[in-house]
Amino acid sequence: MTARFRYRYEQGSFEAAFRARYAPMAEAAQRAIAAAGAIVKAEGRADIAAAGLGAGFVKALRVDIYPQGRNSLNATAHIYHKIPYAGVFEEGVTIRGRPRLWLALPSTPQRYGRKPMTPELFRKSIGPLSFVKRPGKRPLLVAKAKKGKNMTKISLARFRSGGRGEGPFVSVPVFVGVDSVSIRKKLNISAIVRSASDRLPQLYASFISV
């Protein structure tokens, strides 16, 4: 006596069964990475705010979780800052001039539109600057501004009027030249990321048992 058996299966059934076995682990891994990313985002933004870098700098810290829209045992968190120079506050740095760095003084408008004020931008958009050498002291870049009651905070319009020679005007220091600027370490984002990474086994265990 001979017997034969034939097994029929739908295309992809083996793959589906294999994936189903690992689905809870993939979900736990995805949720653990997402939770760790949320910790980094919350604590990192709090760290930036505590350093006094402003709301825009705080919101520029981003965390993206991949893959998106599905679970994976290989889930990852991409942590980055949208401001390119943010790293200088994480490590601290000394920036040296070539030959000088020109820093805007308190009397100088700090921005032109959305751009930070620089000597080049001032010359192109507002008016000419004159170099003043001071033996034994830091040099200055000086601009003409129309006279007014408030000489501690001068508007762009008054600088433009002075630059066009619309008198009476006064000479106002707007930039001071320095050899270098040291920016101290202010942020601890790397330590926050390491701490969140160390918590991944605990987070994974909490989600796999749900």
- How many Å apart are CA 91 and CA 50, to the nearest integer? 16
Number of domains in the chain: 2
Do 176 and 98 sit in the same domain of this protein?
yes
**Do 65 and 23 fall into the same domain?**
yes
- Kindly report each contact of residues 158-163 with a partner whose C-beta sits within 8 Å and lies 24 or more positions away, as own/partner: 159/109, 159/126, 159/127, 160/126, 160/127, 162/127, 163/126, 163/127, 163/128
| Pair 21, 102 in one domain | no
pTM over 0.85: no
Cβ atoms of 40 and 193 within 8 Å: the answer is: yes
The domain of 146 spans 93-183
One domain for residues 78 and 22:
yes
What does the pLDDT look like over 113-161, one tens digit per residue? 888 889 999 888 888 899 999 998 999 999 888 876 666 677 778 878 8
97 and 80 share one domain: no
**pLDDT tens, 29-55?**
999 999 999 999 999 999 999 999 999
- Do 35 and 77 lie in one domain? The reply is yes
Residues 61 and 97 in one domain: no
d(CA 158, CA 156): 5
8 is a domain residue? no
Q: Are residues 178 and 97 in the same domain?
A: yes
> Is residue 5 one of the residues assigned to a domain?
no
Give the rounded percent of residues in the chain with a pLDDT score beyond 90: 48
Q: Six-digit token pair at 1?
A: 């006596």
Residue 173 has pLDDT above 60, yes or no: yes
- Domain membership of residue 138 (yes or no) is yes
Q: Is residue 49 included in any domain, yes or no?
A: yes
Q: Are residues 97 and 168 in the same domain?
A: yes
